[in-house]
Amino acid sequence: MAESSWHNELSEAQADEVGAVLAAAERVDGVAPVGEHVRLRMRPGARGSAHLLARVDGVVVGYAHLDLLGDSAGNQVAELVVHPEHRKQGVGTEVGTAVVAKSAPLRVWAHGNHPGAAALAGKLGFRNVRELRRMRRSLDGELPSAPLPEGVRLRAFVPGQDEAGVVFVNHRAFSWHPEQGAMSIEDVHHKEAEDWFDPKGFLLAVDDQGTLLGFHWTKVHEQAEPLGEVYVVGVDPDAQGGGLGKALTVAGLRYLQEQGLREVMLYVESDNAAAVRVYTRLGFTLWDSDVQYGR
């Protein structure tokens, strides 16, 4: 059996231990076992989380992150991982049982919906309650034409100036979303400190008075073959319906293409039929899915 302990925050040494487990799992599974926000919460001094470390012979072999702040529906949200060399030895069941005992109501993400995660979810009495699709397309060749609405222009994000405006539009655009609608100015600042942050790839759509109408925040994943991402596209509800969302999306794709990237991906809720339809028409196809389980 593994020895497990909960922590309100991780030390640098503990974060490094967990990081090694995450890296090993990603190499084997082909998908990151936890989301970006979990890695940010692993930093010393981060708040709002509970971290479970499972050790065998003093070595971390399993990890669970519990988001105590939860989603907009009041659910606490967990993500967990077991080192590939210690799977099918009961560690996952121990970690999952400990998470269930600590929180309620609870949702649990399975990134890539790994068969082992699905089996563990069923064993613990969970069912599939949400699917987040990952879609991708090539950036080789000509991109679709999508002109901006009349009176709208694009400019780059300016750090120290545009955070509040982006958060305001984001909240209005994603008021329905369990996580995205809660993005704060502090969250934006944290992401500005990340190595991948590129203000030139953070495109803002403004009107003649300079009012922010929408944005396309792009991201580049540095790997053997760099991969672009449609990180967030948000349009103020008052500016929707005139083609601004499509124009922003294509503008971001063009920016990533100009940086020499050959592939781009994005996440979209499976039940957001309108968005799935738009992205499909823009040439995106299904790559894989992240599944959220609940009881």
- Determine whether the annotation assigns residue 243 to a binding site: yes
List CB contacts of 5: < 8 A, sequence separation 6 or more.
52, 53, 55
Per the annotation, does 240 bind a ligand?
Answer: yes
92 labeled part of a ligand binding site: yes
Asked whether residue 94 is marked as a ligand-binding residue, the answer is: no
Would the annotation count 233 as a binding residue?
Answer: yes
Q: What is the SS3 assignment for 291?
A: strand
Known binder of ligand: residue 19?
Answer: no
**Is residue 63 annotated as involved in ligand binding?**
no
93 among annotated binding-site residues: yes
Say whether 20 counts as a known binding-site residue. Answer: no
291 annotated to a ligand binding site: no
Instruction: Confirm or deny that 75 is annotated as ligand binding.
Output: no
Cα dist. 236→159, 179, 215, 284 in Å? Answer: 20, 17, 9, 24
Amino acid identity, position 94: E
> Is 167 within any annotated ligand binding site?
no
- Does 77 show up as a binding residue in the annotation? no
Whole-number CA gyration radius for the chain: 20
Q: Kindly give, in sequence order, each residue whose CB lies less than 8 Å from that of residue 89, ignoring residues fewer than 6 positions away.
A: none
CA dihedral angle for residue 247, residue 248, residue 254, residue 259, rounded to 10 degrees: 170
Tell whether 247 is in a known binding site: no
Residue 234, marked binder: yes
Q: Exposed/middle/buried for 223, CB within 10 Å: 0-12, 13-18, 19+?
A: exposed
Q: Is 231 annotated as a binding residue?
A: no
Known binder of ligand: residue 229? yes
The H-or-E segment that residue 275 falls in is helix 273-281
d(CA 175, CA 53): 34
Determine whether the annotation assigns residue 274 to a binding site: yes
Q: Determine if residue 277 is labeled as part of a ligand binding site.
A: yes
Residue 244 annotated in ligand binding: yes
The residues near 183 (Cβ < 8 Å, ≥ 6 apart) are: 167, 170, 171, 174
125 in a known ligand binding site: no
273 known member of a binding site: yes
200 is in an annotated binding site: no
Q: Which residues contact 166 (CB under 8 A, 6 or more apart)?
A: 157, 188, 204, 212, 215, 234
Tell me whether residue 210 is annotated as binding.
no
Instruction: Answer yes or no: is 30 a known binding residue.
Output: no
Tell whether 143 is in a known binding site.
Answer: no
Annotated binding site: 36, 80-82, 88-93, 179, 219, 229, 233-235, 240-246, 267, 272-277
Mark the binding-site residues for acetyl-CoA, compressed into ranges: 80-82, 88-93, 233-235, 240-246, 272-277
